[in-house]
C-alpha cells in the first residue's frame, strides 16, 4: 500500500469537499468545546467543594463550668476519632469577643451585660473524605453522648444541598459527555459515509482497476483523522478564547469568575480526543460499508 | 488463458448468458459480437470477476471464479487492462492522472509513471491533452483516454468493450492497429463490438452472441 | 412551476440522502436545544431576581427615644420617595423579639438582659425597577441625611453580585444564541450546498431539458424547510424530555430543581424558528450558487 | 429554423469551430460528420445554447444567441429534443421517470404523461424495461432510453449526437427509421455521427466538419 499517494488523495479530498468537511470540523469543534465547558463547570465545582473542609466545622457546645481536666478529656476523645482533622477549644471569653465582633453594628445588645452567658465550645474540622452527610450526622450523635457535651451544631441543610448539587452536576456532566461524544462519532461516521457515497463511483473504478481495500480505505481513515484532529484543535482554541475572554476579562467586573480554575493540562488532550473520535467514526463507517 | 465451461448468468428477471463454452488461448485476438443487450458486457464482467456466474466454471489465467478470494481479485485485475463501455473516467482528475492511476494502484513510483503515461497517450493521439479534464474532451477523445489507461500497465489481457463506438473510421483504424501491435507482442486481446468494420480484414476469431446464447463462431 | 412534483422531488431526496440530512437535522436539533437551555437558565435567573424586591430590604435604624410624631414624619418622608414600595415600622420591642428568635439556639445571650437595648427601625422595600446598585446607594445616603436616622443597612455586596451575575448571564446568553443561530444557518447552508453539488450533474441535465430556475430551486428550499422544521421539532422534544427528566425527576432528590420555571409557550416556537433558519440557510446557499 | 452566420467558438486554448455558415430549414434532415474532436458536439451545444458563440450570429427558431435572456432559454429548449452523446441519464430514477422528466419539466399532468412515455419506449424497443434503472441496462439500451426521452415531447427539432454509437446495425436501422418517420411529420432532425451507414441510403444533407471547419456539403 503506497502510503504517500493515499495521504495525498486524503488531503486533496479535504479541500475538494470543503462544505462537508467544514461542517463536520465545526460540529466536532463545537461539540468538544461544550464538553470542555461542562467539564470545566464540574471540575470547578469539585475543586470548590474540595476546599469545603476548611470552611465547614462542627461546633460542640460544652456544659457550663466543666473542669479544665474534663474539657481536655473531651478534646482528646474527639482527636482520636478517625474522621476528625483538628479540634480547637474556644474558651467562653473568646466566644464572647467573637459574638461582640459579629454584632458590632449593634453594640447596644451587650449594654446591660455583666456576666459572660456563653459556654466553652469546640470547633471541630473534619477530614475531606469524611465530609459526607451520613458521617457528619453519625459523628454529631456520638458527640451528644459524651458527657459534658450540651449541644452540637452543624450546617445540615448546607451540607445536604452541596451533596445533592454535586451528585446532580456529576450525572449531568457525565450524560452530556456521553451524548456529545456519541454525537461526534456520529458526525465523523456520517461525514465519511457522505464522502464515501459521493465517491462510490470513483471507488468502484479504483476497484475495477485493481486497487486493494487498503488503498481505498486509507484515504477515508486519514480524512477522519484529520477532521477529528482539526475539530479538536478548534475546540482547544475555543476553550482558550473562552478562558481569556470570560475568566480574565469578565472577572474584572464580576469577581466570581476570577476564582475559576483552568486545568490547561487536561485541555491539551482535546486534539488527541478529537483525532481518536474521528478515526473511530471513520472506522465504524467503513466497517459497515459493503464494497 | 480464459476458459468458460457451461456458464450461465442470471439477473433479477432475465438470463443474460446461457450455457456459454469457449476457450481463449494466450496471445489470441478474439471478437465478441451481437445485438444490443445480447450479453457482451456481461461476459467481459465475468472475466474480470465483477460478476460471479450462477452456474458453470470460469478460469482466468489459473484463477477459478468460484474459489477465488475477495482479497485476491485486485491482483487478478492487475493483469487485465479494461476499456469500459461507459468509460469510467475520474472527472475531477486530469487526463494524465486518469491514465496514471492504473500505475499508482500498482504502487509504481512517480518517476517511472511519467514516461509510461505519455507513451500511452501518444498511442491514442492525445499527448497534447494530458493536462485537460475529461469533461473538456470530446466523446471520442474520452474514449481514447480509456484505451490509454487500459494499455498503460502492459497487461497480460486487454478487454475492450465497444472501444470505437465514439470514434470515426480513421481513428478507429489507428486504435485497431495499436491493439494489433500489442497483440503481436503476446498480449491476449478480447474486443466486444458491433462495428463489423473492425474485424473485416483481420486474422482473428469472431464469436457471435444473441440474447445470451453463443450462436456461432467464425474464424478467418 | 408544477409545485406538487417539486415537493415530491424534495421529499424523495430527503430519504435518498439520509446521512447528510440526518446529520443536519441532529445538529440543528442539538443547537436549538442548547439555545433553549441557555434561554431557560437566563429566563429563570431573571424570574428569580424579579422576586428579589420581596426579599431585599433597606433597614433604617432610628435614634433612641424619638417621639411618635417624629417617627411618623420620617416614615412619611420615605413613603413619598419614588423608588420606595413600602415602609414598615418595627418598634424596638418587636425587634428584640426577632433577635431573641434568631438567637434562640443560644438563649443564654439574653440571660442578664433587663432593658431593651435596641432602637426602633424601618424596613423599606423598593420597587422592582429601582433595584439598581446606584439607586439603592443614593437612597441610603439621602436617608442618612434625614434627622433622627442613626444608621442605614443594606446588602451592598449581595446586590452588586446579583447585578453583575445578571449582566454576565445576559451577555453570555446573547452571545450563545447569536453564535448557535449563525451555526444553524451555516449547517443548512452547507447541507444545501452539499446536496446541490452532489446533484450538480442531475441539475445540469434538468436545465438542458428545459427546466426553469424555479423548478430546480424549489426542491432545495423545501428541503431546507423540512430539515429546519424537523430539527426544531427534535429540539422541542429534547427540551420537553429535559424538563420531565431533570425538573420533575431530579427535583425529588435535589429540591433546587423544583423551582425552575418552564415557559412552555416560548418553546412551542422552536419548530417555527428551525423552519425559518432552514429556509434562510437554503436561500443563502442558493443565492450564492451559479448555475 | 437554424441559422449560423460566421460562427466561431474558442475554448481555453483552441478553436473548436471557425467561421461556420449554414442554414437548416424547417422539416429538413441534416447530418454532421467529421473525425473525433472536429466540433460536432460543440456545434449542437451552440444550437441548444449551452454555449455562446465567440463571434458570429446564431438564430434558432427566431431566438438570437446574442440577445436571448438567460431566463427564456428553458423555453427555447422545450422545443428541442436532444440525444446527448454522454447520455445524461438520471441514475437514481427508473427508465420511466427518465423519459417522463422531459414532460414533467413542461408541467404536463401525470395522467397524460403515462401513455406518451410508454409510446416513446415502444419506439426504441424498451417498453419492457420501464421499471428498471439505467445502470441495469446495457450500453445500447441506455442509449435508446436517451432517444426515447428526446422524442417523447414531440419537439420541433431533434438534435442527436452519435445516437447509434452503442447500437448494432439492426437496432441502428430501426432507430433511423423512427427518426425518418418523425421527420416526415415535419420535425427538423439534426444528427451528428461518423457512422456512414446511417445516411448511406437516405435522402438528406451531409455537412462535413474537420478540426473546426465546415469543409464540404453533400446532398443526395
Ligand atoms: N446489473 C444488471 N441488472 C439487471 N439486468 C442487467 C444488468 N446488467 C445487464 N443487464 C441486462 O442483461 C442483458 C445483457 O446486458 P449486456 O450489458 O451484457 O449487453 P451487451 O451485449 O453489452 O449490450 P450492448 O451492446 O447494448 O452494450 C441486457 O438485457 C441488460 O438489460
Ligand atoms: N468544455 C471544453 N473545454 C475545452 N475544450 C473543449 C471543451 N469541449 C470540447 N473541447 C474541445 O473542442 C474540440 C471539439 O470538441 P467536440 O466535442 O465538439 O468534438 P466532436 O466532433 O463532438 O468529437 P467526437 O466525435 O469525438 O465526439 C475537441 O478537441 C475538444 O477537446
Ligand atoms: Mg455492452
Ligand atoms: Mg462529440
pLDDT at A148 over 90: no
Question: Which chain B positions have a beta carbon within 8 Å of D12's beta carbon?
Answer: 136
Q: How far apart are CA B158 and CA A197, in angstroms?
A: 30
Q: Is D57 helix (H, G, I), strand (E, B) or coil?
A: strand
pLDDT of amino acid A1? 44
Q: What is the position in ligand 2's atom list of the atom closest to the CA of D42?
A: 18
pLDDT of amino acid C251? 66
pLDDT at C10 over 60: yes
Map out the domains of chain D as residue ranges. 1-79+155-220, 88-154
Q: How far apart are CA D76 and CA D73, in angstroms?
A: 5
Test D37 with B11 for CB contact under 8 angstroms.
Answer: no
Which three three-digit cell numbers place residue D10?
Answer: 474558442
Confidence of residue D136 (pLDDT cuts 50, 70, 90): very high
Nearest CA in chain B to D37: B138
- Measured CB to CB, residues of chain D less than 8 Å from chain B are 11-12, 33-37, 40-41, 85-86, 136-141, 144, 161-162, 165-171, 194, 196
- Out of A34, A114, A165, name the one closest to residue C254 (CB): A165
Reported as a single tens digit per residue, the pLDDT across A76-96 is 888 888 878 888 888 878 777
CA distances from A280 to A32, A227, A268, B215 (A): 15, 12, 20, 54
| Residues within 6 Å of ligand 2 by CB | B 136-141, 166; D 11-12, 16, 34, 36-42, 85
Percent of chain B residues past pLDDT 70, beyond the cut: 100
- Closest among C35, C170, C180 to A254, alpha carbons compared: C170
Which three three-digit cell numbers place residue D103?
Answer: 414532460
Atom 12 (ligand 2) nearest CA:
D16
Architecture of domain B1-79+155-220: 3-Layer(aba) Sandwich (3.40)
Map out the domains of chain A as residue ranges. 3-51+162-288, 57-153
Q: Is D165 helix (H, G, I), strand (E, B) or coil?
A: coil
pLDDT at C213 over 70: yes
Confidence of residue A157 (pLDDT cuts 50, 70, 90): low
Q: Is C212 helix (H, G, I), strand (E, B) or coil?
A: coil
Q: Does C102 touch chain D (CB under 8 A)?
A: no
Reported as a single tens digit per residue, the pLDDT across B24-61 is 999 999 999 999 999 999 999 999 999 999 999 999 99
Confidence of residue A70 (pLDDT cuts 50, 70, 90): confident
Predicted TM-score (pTM) of the model is 0.80
pLDDT of amino acid C1? 44
* Positive/negative CA dihedral, A268, A272, A278, A280: negative
Q: Look at A54 and B183; give whichever has higher pLDDT.
A: B183
Q: Which residues of A257-280 are buried (b: 16+ CB within 10 A; e: fewer)?
A: beebebeeeebeebbebbbbbbbb
pLDDT at A41 over 80: no
Could you tell me which residues come within 8 angstroms of residue D56 by beta carbon, excluding any fewer than 6 positions away?
D4, D5, D6, D7, D8, D19, D20
Confidence of residue D185 (pLDDT cuts 50, 70, 90): very high
Q: Please answer whether residues A149 and A62 qualify as being in contact, where contact means their C-beta atoms are separated by less than 8 angstroms.
A: yes
pLDDT of amino acid B100? 96
Pairing status of strand D2-11 against strand C84-90:
unpaired
Reported as a single tens digit per residue, the pLDDT across C238-291 is 888 888 777 676 666 666 666 677 787 888 899 998 998 888 888 887 776 655
Q: What is the mean pLDDT of residues B96-120?
A: 94
pLDDT of amino acid B176? 93
pLDDT of amino acid A33? 86
Q: Look at B184 and C106; give whichever has higher pLDDT.
A: B184
ipTM of the complex model: 0.81
pLDDT at B114 over 90: yes
Q: What is the position in ligand 2's atom list of the atom closest to the CA of D12?
A: 4
- Closest among B220, B210, B188, B179 to B40, alpha carbons compared: B210
Reported as a single tens digit per residue, the pLDDT across B121-158 is 999 999 999 999 999 999 999 999 999 999 999 999 99
pLDDT of amino acid A46? 77
Could you tell me which residues come within 8 angstroms of residue B182 by beta carbon, excluding any fewer than 6 positions away?
B151, B158, B189
End-to-end CA separation in angstroms for chain B = 21
Reported as a single tens digit per residue, the pLDDT across D73-87 is 999 999 999 999 999
Pocket probe for ligand 2: among D8, D37, D215, the residue whose CB has the most ligand atoms within 8 Å is: D37
Q: How far apart are CA A280 and CA A189, in angstroms?
A: 8
Q: How far apart are CA D101 and CA C12, in angstroms?
A: 15
Average pLDDT along chain D: 93
Q: What is the mean pLDDT of residues D165-175?
A: 92
- Closest among A232, A234, A233 to A274, alpha carbons compared: A232
Q: Please answer whether residues C55 and C123 qualify as being in contact, where contact means their C-beta atoms are separated by less than 8 angstroms.
A: no
Pairing status of strand D29-33 against strand D205-210:
parallel
Which three three-digit cell numbers place residue D146?
Answer: 436517451
Question: Which chain C positions have a beta carbon within 8 Å of D74's beta carbon?
Answer: 207, 210-212
Question: Can you state the angle between helices C18-50 and A156-208, rounded to 10 degrees?
Answer: 160
Question: Which chain C positions have a beta carbon within 8 Å of D75's beta carbon?
Answer: 210
Q: Look at C155 and B74; give whichever has higher pLDDT.
A: B74
- Select the residue from B86, B90, B105 to test the A interface by mutation, using most A Cβ atoms within 10 A: B105
Question: What is the DSSP track for C128-170?
Answer: GGG-SHHHHHHHHHHHHHSTTEEEEE--HHHHHHHHHHHHHHH
pLDDT at C86 over 80: yes
Q: How far apart are CA A208 and CA B76, in angstroms?
A: 10
Question: What is the DSSP track for C18-70?
Answer: HHHHHHHHHHHHHHHHHHHHHHHHHHHHHHHHHTHHHH--EEEEEPTT--HHH
pLDDT at A24 over 60: yes
Backbone angles phi, psi at D170, to 5 degrees: -65, -50
Q: What is the mean pLDDT of residues C157-163?
A: 69
Domain at C57-153: CATH code: 3.30.70.3040
- Select the residue from C208, C214, C216, C217 to test the D interface by mutation, using most D Cβ atoms within 10 A: C208
Amino acid at each position: 500500500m503506497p502510503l504517500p499517494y493515499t495521504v495525498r488523495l486524503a488531503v486533496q479530498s479535504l479541500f475538494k469537499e470543503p462544505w462537508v468537511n467544514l461542517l463536520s470540523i465545526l460540529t466536532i469543534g463545537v461539540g468538544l468545546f461544550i464538553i470542555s465547558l461542562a467539564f470545566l463547570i464540574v471540575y470547578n465545582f469539585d475543586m470548590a467543594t474540595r476546599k469545603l473542609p476548611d470552611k465547614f466545622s462542627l461546633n460542640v457546645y460544652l456544659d457550663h463550668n466543666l473542669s479544665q481536666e474534663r474539657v481536655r478529656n473531651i478534646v482528646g476523645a474527639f482527636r482520636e476519632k478517625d474522621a476528625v482533622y483538628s479540634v480547637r477549644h474556644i474558651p467562653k471569653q473568646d466566644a464572647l469577643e467573637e459574638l461582640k465582633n459579629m454584632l458590632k453594628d449593634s453594640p447596644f445588645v451587650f449594654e446591660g451585660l455583666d456576666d459572660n452567658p456563653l459556654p466553652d465550645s469546640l470547633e471541630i474540622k473534619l477530614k475531606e473524605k469524611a465530609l459526607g452527610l451520613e458521617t457528619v450526622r453519625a459523628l454529631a450523635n456520638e458527640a451528644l453522648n459524651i458527657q459534658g457535651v450540651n449541644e452540637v451544631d452543624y450546617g445540615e441543610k448546607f451540607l445536604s444541598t452541596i451533596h445533592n448539587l454535586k451528585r446532580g452536576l456529576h450525572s449531568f456532566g457525565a450524560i452530556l459527555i456521553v451524548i456529545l461524544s456519541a454525537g461526534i462519532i456520529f458526525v465523523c461516521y456520517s461525514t465519511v459515509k457522505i464522502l464515501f457515497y459521493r465517491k462510490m463511483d470513483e471507488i468502484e473504478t479504483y476497484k475495477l482497476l485493481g486497487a486493494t481495500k487498503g488503498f481505498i480505505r486509507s484515504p477515508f481513515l486519514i480524512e477522519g483523522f484529520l477532521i477529528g484532529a482539526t475539530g479538536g484543535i478548534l475546540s482547544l482554541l475555543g476553550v482558550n478564547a473562552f478562558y481569556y475572554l470570560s475568566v480574565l476579562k469578565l472577572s474584572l467586573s464580576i469577581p466570581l469568575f476570577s476564582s475559576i480554575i483552568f486545568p490547561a493540562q487536561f485541555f491539551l488532550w482535546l486534539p488527541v480526543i478529537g483525532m481518536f473520535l474521528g478515526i473511530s467514526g471513520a472506522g465504524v463507517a467503513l466497517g459497515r460499508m459493503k464494497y | 488463458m480464459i476458459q468458460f465451461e457451461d456458464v450461465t448468468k442470471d439477473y433479477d428477471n432475465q438470463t443474460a448468458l446461457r450455457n456459454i463454452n469457449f476457450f481463449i488461448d494466450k496471445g489470441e485476438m478474439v471478437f465478441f459480437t451481437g445485438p444490443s443487450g445480447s450479453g457482451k458486457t456481461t461476459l467481459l464482467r465475468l472475466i474480470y470477476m465483477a460478476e460471479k456466474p450462477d452456474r458453470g466454471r470460469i478460469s482466468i489465467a489459473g484463477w477459478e471464479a468460484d474459489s477465488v478470494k475477495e482479497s485476491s481479485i485486485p491482483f487478478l485485475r492487475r493483469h487485465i487492462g479494461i476499456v469500459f463501455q461507459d468509460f469510467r473516467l475520474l472527472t475531477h482528475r486530469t487526463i494524465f492522472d486518469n491514465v496514471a492511476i492504473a500505475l499508482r494502484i500498482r504502487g509504481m513510483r512517480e518517476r517511472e509513471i511519467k514516461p509510461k503515461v505519455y507513451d500511452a497517450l501518444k498511442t491514442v493521439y492525445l499527448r497534447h491533452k494530458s493536462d485537460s479534464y475529461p469533461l473538456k474532451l470530446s466523446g471520442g477523445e474520452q474514449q481514447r483516454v480509456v484505451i490509454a489507461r487500459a494499455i498503460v500497465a502492459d497487461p497480460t489481457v486487454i478487454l475492450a468493450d465497444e472501444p470505437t463506438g465514439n470514434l470515426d473510421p480513421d481513428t478507429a483504424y489507428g486504435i485497431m492497429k495499436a491493439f494489433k501491435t500489442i497483440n503481436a507482442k503476446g498480449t491476449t486481446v478480447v474486443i466486444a463490438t458491433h462495428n463489423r468494420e473492425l474485424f473485416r480484414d483481420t486474422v482473428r476469431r469472431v464469436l457471435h452472441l444473441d440474447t445470451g446464447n453463443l450462436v456461432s463462431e467464425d474464424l478467418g
